[in-house]
Amino acid sequence: NMDSGKLDDTQLKALREFLPTKEEKTAIDQYVKNASSTEESKQAAINDFCACEKYMLAMMKVEMADEKFQCMLFKYQFDHKLNELMNGVTTLINACEEVQKSVRLRKLMAMILMLGNQINTGGSGRMAHGFTLDALLKLDEAKAFDKKTSVLQ
């Protein structure tokens, strides 16, 4: 069961951080083995452990404890991360819909196309049916006769 109970992600991270290392596992095993000639002496040695050592001893018995903590953290954080992502996606979708529905933007793009055709062909010849977004950047470079005023102004 991967239920994290009432633990939050900060607590889960802290518990994961204090999982015993290989050296700590070896030291605890060795201590318990050396201190226990009987079951009673083994239990007495374990009772002498501080809370941290008791935690490590308990976690040594859990298979793949680190992976389980990672799964619990992922499960705990999933909804929050999904909501963050969905807020961005919703904003992007709304922006795309606004661009598609904008009459003023459509008119502006038509005027830019007409202006580009006028500049490139002088109003006669083969007219373009569209332009690239890269061409929009060139509008700032196109200057009026005074060499100061751009098309965008």
Q: How confident is the model over 22-70, as pLDDT tens digits?
A: 999 999 999 988 887 788 888 888 888 999 999 999 999 999 999 999 9
CA dist 150 and 144 (Å) reads 6
CA dist 31 and 46 (Å) reads 9
45 in Cβ contact with 35 (< 8 Å): yes
Q: How confident is the model over 66-88, as pLDDT tens digits?
A: 999 999 999 999 988 999 999 99
pTM: 0.56
% the chain with pLDDT above 70? 92
Q: What is the mean pLDDT of residues 114-136?
A: 77
Amino acid identity, position 50: C
